[in-house]
Amino acid sequence: MASRLINVAGNPNLARCPSSGAIININKDEIEKSRALKSARQNKDKEFRELRQDVNDLKELLNKLVEKL
């Protein structure tokens, strides 16, 4: 596949796909770094959603407790 890509002038880390015209990052280190950052961001978002759900659960429990008093 890399042999069919056209190098982008002025940037050795980028290449253009002749069939779609898309610019592709061909630097494997940057790609792995980007994937790691995306994974970390997704994990952080998941933790935030779980924390939000825990807070909502606590609110429900407190409301039930107050209703019983």
Count of CA atoms in the C-beta half-sphere (13 A) of 41? 6
* Number of compact structural domains in the chain: 1
When the pLDDT of each residue in the chain is averaged and rounded to a whole number, the result is 94
User: For the whole model, what pTM was predicted?
Assistant: 0.64
Residue range of the domain that includes 63: 2-68
pLDDT value of residue 3? 63
- Mean pLDDT within 8-35: 95
- Share above pLDDT 90 across residues of the chain, in percent, rounded to a whole number: 94
Distance (Å, whole) CA 65 – CA 34: 47
